[in-house]
Amino acid sequence: MPRIPNTPTVRTFTETWTADFKEAVKKAAGKDGRLTLNEAKKLAASTGPEKAFADNAVNYLQTTGKKSVSVEVITKEMSAYAQRAAEQAAGPDKRLSLADGAKLPADLVEDFFMLRGKPAPGTTPVGPSVLPQVQAALETATANLWMPSETDASFKFLKGTALTGPITADVIRAQLGAQHDALMPSVMYVDPSEVALAGKTHVEQSDGNAFLDRIINNVDPNDPDSIAMGQRFSQLKAALNANLTDLQVYRFGEISISTFIVGKTKTGELAGLLTGQVET
């Protein structure tokens, strides 16, 4: 039974999603009104509609590193997350079609289609998702690795949903924009007014392997640290190609640049790495 209309406004989706999310985490949190990671994970074992919100709650606690959170706080912050993601997916008309719903971040797609009374795209996959294995491989390859530029920038893993078309800047904004906004301050220093991906209008796209080759080949043969960095990026290139196809790099912004190294997993999802560069 649909709980939102065919093309709901961002506001309608957000308000309905927030009410259902709050009810789910309130039930999971119990009498003390605080949700732990274990309690969030138990939502996934539920047989009711609250199961759809398990990934949202788990992702929040893992991203923030909190051991527990009050129902009111997580509801408020996740409502803002859902609204930002819906605005990015909806586009100028501020309404969410089924196609727009498929562009939402991975942990909101199933929720949107459930509220629409429709099966989520990719609910009959060719096999189990390989996203966990991809994440493990890429996080190992980027541990203690820094993107060379005028500042230090680390790497964060990003995951999206199954793709039915090519990777584009719009797809990245829709599927990974909310994750970018949450994680970018931990990647490198960014002025708070410049964090949002929606505000970065300048976009550059390039082949992922060519981008990495420029870093690998730009080593100083007389500097052991530079040689070691080149070797680490060679290992990263190998890990990316072993786990992703259609490898591309999208850079958003000028001077303070958000850099996405992304591709498709073997089970068709958008995935990759977020890092940053400063170029003055």
Mean model confidence pLDDT for the chain: 92
18-32, 102-116, 138-152, 264-278: least confident range? 102-116
Q: How confident is the model at residue 118 (pLDDT cuts 50, 70, 90)?
A: confident
pLDDT(153) > 80: yes
Q: What is the 3-state secondary structure (H, E, C) of 28-48?
A: HHCCCCEEEHHHHHHHHHCCC
Q: Taking residues 178-190, what's their average pLDDT?
A: 95
Whole-angstrom distance, CA of residue 229 vs CA of residue 16: 48
pLDDT-derived band at 122, boundaries 50, 70, 90: low
Query: Is 125's pLDDT higher than 60?
Result: no
* Per-residue pLDDT band at 89 (split at 50, 70, 90): very high
Read off the pLDDT of each residue in 143-162 and give the average, rounded to a whole number: 95
Q: How many residues in the chain?
A: 280
User: Cα–Cα distance between 218 and 7 in angstroms, integer?
Assistant: 50
Q: What is the mean pLDDT of the segment spanning 229-248?
A: 95
Tokens 């912004």: give the residue: 253
Contacts 24+ apart (CB under 8 A), 14-19: 14/79, 14/82, 14/83, 14/86, 16/115, 17/79, 17/82, 17/108, 17/111, 17/112, 17/115, 18/75, 18/78, 18/79, 18/82
Token couple for 165: 């078309």
Q: Structure tokens of 98?
A: 């089924």
Domain boundaries, the chain: 10-116, 131-278
Q: What percent of the chain has pLDDT over 90?
A: 79
The lowest-confidence range among 40-44, 122-126, 240-244, 275-279 is 122-126
Residues 272/156, Cβ–Cβ less than 8 Å: no
**Whether residue 1 has pLDDT greater than 70:** no
pTM of the predicted protein model:
0.61
Share of the chain above pLDDT 70, in %: 97
pLDDT tens figures, 204-238: 999 999 999 999 999 999 999 999 999 999 999 99
pLDDT band at residue 127, thresholds of 50, 70 and 90? low
Contact 265, 160 (CB under 8 A): no
pLDDT (tens digit per residue) in 15-61: 999 999 999 999 999 999 999 999 998 887 777 788 889 999 998 99
Q: How far apart are CA 99 and CA 225, in angstroms?
A: 47
Q: What is the pLDDT of residue 124?
A: 47
Q: What is the CATH number of domain 131-278?
A: 3.40.1460.10
